Amino acid sequence: MEEFSIRVFEIIRQIPPGMVCSYGRIAVLAGAPRGARQVARLLHSSSGKQGLPWHRVINASGGISLPGDAGLLQQKLLESEGVSFGPTGRVSLADYLWVGE
């Protein structure tokens, strides 16, 4: 497995319950500042196999990028951890963004 992929998985596993992180921030932490789409692809293809808390990864504007039922499931999982969504359907990054180390 590629080093970037391993690092992305490690970072996603570190996101604590009740917090979120953006695809772009994960890419930065993994050493690829322009790798947000690659993070999304890895998450899509490996979240089940790797046992990742995929629902804690959102887009840079605080929104859920998944369409339909998958997006509703993500919102429900986040809400069950105490994450609130505003009237526009977005998470307050000031309140819930995990920035990593």
**What is the pLDDT at residue 27?**
97
Is residue 34 domain-resident? yes
Q: How many domains does the chain have?
A: 1
**What is the pLDDT at residue 97?**
97
Sign of CA dihedral 57, 55, 38, 64: negative
Is residue 101 domain-resident? no
Q: What residues make up the domain containing 83?
A: 3-96
**What is the pLDDT at residue 101?**
72
pLDDT by residue for the chain (101 residues), tens only, comes to: 599 999 999 999 999 999 999 999 999 999 999 999 999 999 999 988 999 999 999 999 999 999 999 999 999 999 999 999 999 999 999 999 999 87
Q: How far apart, in whole angstroms, are the C-alpha atoms of residue 13 and residue 54?
A: 9
Q: What is the CATH number of the domain that holds 8?
A: 1.10.10.10
Give the three-class secondary structure for 15: coil
**What is the pLDDT at residue 1?**
58
pTM of the full structure: 0.94
Is residue 64 domain-resident? yes
In the chain, DSSP finds a helix count (H) and a strand count (E) of 5, 2
**What is the pLDDT at residue 81?**
98
**What is the pLDDT at residue 3?**
94
